[in-house]
Every structure is written in structure tokens, then in C-alpha cells.
Amino acid sequence: MTKSASANSGLTTQLHPNEFDRKRIERALEARQRYRYVAPCVVAIEDGYRIESPCCSRNVDAEGGIIDVALIEYHAPLKTWHLYRKDHVQAEWILESSYGRLHEALDKLKEDPDRLFWQ
């Protein structure tokens, strides 16, 4: 788990996930291009955030259940954000791209012209 040391107390604080960035991701998703009528959920995970949403297209889950949409992880040593998409057939996460800033990853996720995330 990525940690940064507190100079005064010797305690460590976790960089990600944090409530500020989780809310930031939620707000950014409101401006997405696809499936704007569903309410995705941003779940805090170790070193990042998982986005899940009801499957309205029924392409992944014929019954419209909750599916994984994207995974956003912060890699402290490189100071980069990694954006993953879910391969639902293989049930694995695939690195889509890396960014220096969170908003760049969110822009890719919101636009999604190739329907890699919002299936």
C-alpha cells in the first residue's frame, strides 16, 4: 500500500484512496457521454478506486446487474494514474493508459468513444 510519512508524528497516511478524490471522480462521472441515466458507484480500493454501474446495455450482464466499469490506481513511485478497463469475458483488468494527472484519466473515461469502459 502506498504511504507517505508524517514528519512530526512518525505516522503514515495513505495517499489513495481518499474521500476528496473519490468525490472528485463521482462529480466527473456526471459529465460522461455514455449511459448518463444510470448512477455509477465509486468504490475505494487499495491505491485507488473502482467504478461500477448497472449494466443498462445488457451486453455484459443480460439481467442488468452491477458490473465493473473501470479501475483507477495511483502509482506513487512514478506519480502516475493508471486507468484500467475490464475484460468481462476473461474477468481481468487491462491497463488502458497512464496519466500524470487524475483529470486526464477521468477525461478518457468520460468520453470513451470506443466504448471500452461503458459497454
Q: Determine the angle formed by the axes of helices 19-29 and 102-111, rounding to 10 degrees.
A: 30
pLDDT score at 60:
65
Mean pLDDT of all residues in 85-96: 93
**Average per-residue pLDDT for the chain:** 84
Dihedral sign of CA atoms 44, 19, 100, 55 in order: positive
pLDDT score at 28:
94
**31-85 tens-digit pLDDT:** 988 778 888 999 999 999 999 988 776 676 667 678 899 999 999 999 999 999 9
Q: Is the pLDDT of residue 4 over 50?
A: no
